[in-house]
Chains A and B, each alone.
Chain A
Amino acid sequence: MKVSLVSRFPLGRQGDGVAAEFVLNPGETTTFILRQVEEDGHDSVHDGVLLEARLVGTEALTQTLAFWRQWLRKCNYSGRWREMVHRSALVLKLLTFAPTGAIVAAPTCGLPEEIGGVRNWDYRYTWVRDAAFTNYAFLRLGLTSEAEQFMAWLEQRAVEGARGDPLQTMYRIDGGHELPEEVLGHLDGYRGSRPVRVGNAASEQLQLDIYGELMDAVYLYDKYGTPTAYDFWCHLRKMLDWVANNWERADDGIWEVRGGQQQFVYSKVQCWVALDRAIRLANKRSLPLDRTRLAAERDRIYEAIMTRGWDTERQTFVQHFATDAVDASNLIMPLVFFLSPTDPRMRGTLDRTMAELVSDSLVHRYEIGRGAGDGLTGSEGTFNMCTFWLVEALARAGRAEEARFIFEKMLTYANHLGLYAEETGPRGEALGNFPQAFTHIGLISAAFNLDRRLGVGP
Chain B
Amino acid sequence: MSAQVAYLGTTVPDWVRELSSSDPLQRRLGAYALGEIGPAATEAMSDLAAALQDPVAFVRVWAAAALARVAPSGGESVTVLIAELGNELAFVRSLAAWHLGRLGPAFPGIEQALIPLRQLAGDKDPSVRVEAALALGMLEGKGAPPPELKSLCT
Query: Do A and B bind?
Result: yes
Which chain B residue lies CB-closest to A24? B102
Assess the A27–B131 pair: CB atoms within 8 A.
no
Interface residues in B1-51 by Cβ distance below 8 A to A read 7-10, 25, 28-29, 32-33, 36
Assess the B143–A26 pair: CB atoms within 8 A.
yes
Residues of A contacting B8 in the complex (Cβ-Cβ under 8 angstroms): 12-14, 19, 21
Residues of A contacting B36 in the complex (Cβ-Cβ under 8 angstroms): 21-22
Residues of B contacting A29 in the complex (Cβ-Cβ under 8 angstroms): 153-154
Assess the B153–A28 pair: CB atoms within 8 A.
yes
Assess the B10–A12 pair: CB atoms within 8 A.
yes
Mask, A20-41, CB within 8 Å of B = 1, is 0110011111000000000000
Residues of B contacting A14 in the complex (Cβ-Cβ under 8 angstroms): 8-9
B130 in the interface, Cβ–Cβ < 8 Å?
Answer: yes
Assess the A10–B153 pair: CB atoms within 8 A.
no
B107 in the interface, Cβ–Cβ < 8 Å?
Answer: no
Assess the A21–B153 pair: CB atoms within 8 A.
no
* 29 A–B contacts from the bound complex (CB under 8 Å): A9-B32, A10-B32, A12-B7, A12-B8, A14-B8, A14-B9, A21-B7, A21-B8, A21-B36, A25-B138, A26-B143, A26-B144, A27-B143, A27-B153, A28-B153, A29-B153, A48-B56, A48-B58, A48-B91, A51-B25, A52-B61, A52-B91, A52-B94, A52-B95, A54-B94, A54-B127, A55-B94, A55-B130, A62-B151
B75 in the interface, Cβ–Cβ < 8 Å?
Answer: no
Q: State the CA gap A14–B33 with chains docked (Å).
A: 13
Q: State the CA gap A271–B62 with chains docked (Å).
A: 68
Count of chain A residues with a beta carbon within 8 Å of a chain B beta carbon: 25
Mask, A50-94, CB within 8 Å of B = 1, is 011111101000100000000000000000000000000000000
Q: State the CA gap A399–B91 with chains docked (Å).
A: 63
Question: By DSSP majority rule, is chain A's interface helix, strand, loop, or mixed?
Answer: loop
Assess the A55–B29 pair: CB atoms within 8 A.
no
Interface residues in B111-154 by Cβ distance below 8 A to A read 126-127, 130-131, 138, 143-145, 151-154
Q: State the CA gap A54–B101 with chains docked (Å).
A: 14
A11 in the interface, Cβ–Cβ < 8 Å?
Answer: yes
Q: State the CA gap A9–B35 with chains docked (Å).
A: 11
* B145 nearest CB across to chain A (Å): 6
10 new A-B contacts at CB < 8 Å, known A10-B62, A27-B145, A62-B152: A13-B8, A21-B36, A22-B36, A27-B143, A27-B153, A53-B91, A53-B127, A54-B127, A54-B131, A58-B153
A49 in the interface, Cβ–Cβ < 8 Å?
Answer: yes
Assess the B89–A48 pair: CB atoms within 8 A.
yes
Q: Which 4 A-B pairs have the closest CB atoms?
A: A10-B32, A10-B29, A55-B127, A52-B95
Q: State the CA gap A52–B61 with chains docked (Å).
A: 11
Which of A49, A51, A55, A62 has the most chain B CB within a 10 Å cutoff? A55
Which chain B residue lies CB-closest to A13? B8
* B15 nearest CB across to chain A (Å): 9
Assess the A58–B91 pair: CB atoms within 8 A.
no
Which chain A residue lies CB-closest to B138? A25
B92 in the interface, Cβ–Cβ < 8 Å?
Answer: yes
Q: State the CA gap A14–B6 with chains docked (Å).
A: 13
Residues of B contacting A25 in the complex (Cβ-Cβ under 8 angstroms): 102, 138
Residues of B contacting A9 in the complex (Cβ-Cβ under 8 angstroms): 32
* B28 nearest CB across to chain A (Å): 5
Q: State the CA gap A27–B98 with chains docked (Å).
A: 13
Q: State the CA gap A22–B8 with chains docked (Å).
A: 12
Q: State the CA gap A52–B90 with chains docked (Å).
A: 10
**Out of B9, B25, B94, which one reaches A10, CB within 8 Å?**
B25
A53-B94 CB under 8 A given contacts A10-B62, A12-B10: yes
* A44 nearest CB across to chain B (Å): 11
Assess the B98–A54 pair: CB atoms within 8 A.
yes
Q: State the CA gap A49–B94 with chains docked (Å).
A: 11
Assess the A27–B144 pair: CB atoms within 8 A.
yes
Residues of A contacting B126 in the complex (Cβ-Cβ under 8 angstroms): 55
Assess the A49–B91 pair: CB atoms within 8 A.
yes
* A61 nearest CB across to chain B (Å): 10
Which chain B residue lies CB-closest to A15? B9
Residues of B contacting A27 in the complex (Cβ-Cβ under 8 angstroms): 143-145, 153
Residues of A contacting B62 in the complex (Cβ-Cβ under 8 angstroms): 10
* B81 nearest CB across to chain A (Å): 13
Assess the A52–B7 pair: CB atoms within 8 A.
no
Assess the B143–A51 pair: CB atoms within 8 A.
no
* B75 nearest CB across to chain A (Å): 22
Residues of A contacting B145 in the complex (Cβ-Cβ under 8 angstroms): 27
* B40 nearest CB across to chain A (Å): 14
Which chain B residue lies CB-closest to A21? B36
Assess the B29–A11 pair: CB atoms within 8 A.
yes
Residues of B contacting A53 in the complex (Cβ-Cβ under 8 angstroms): 91, 94, 127
Which of A28, A52, A55 has the most chain B CB within a 10 Å cutoff? A52
Residues of A contacting B25 in the complex (Cβ-Cβ under 8 angstroms): 10, 46, 51
Residues of B contacting A48 in the complex (Cβ-Cβ under 8 angstroms): 56, 58, 89, 91-92
Residues of B contacting A10 in the complex (Cβ-Cβ under 8 angstroms): 25, 28-29, 32-33, 62
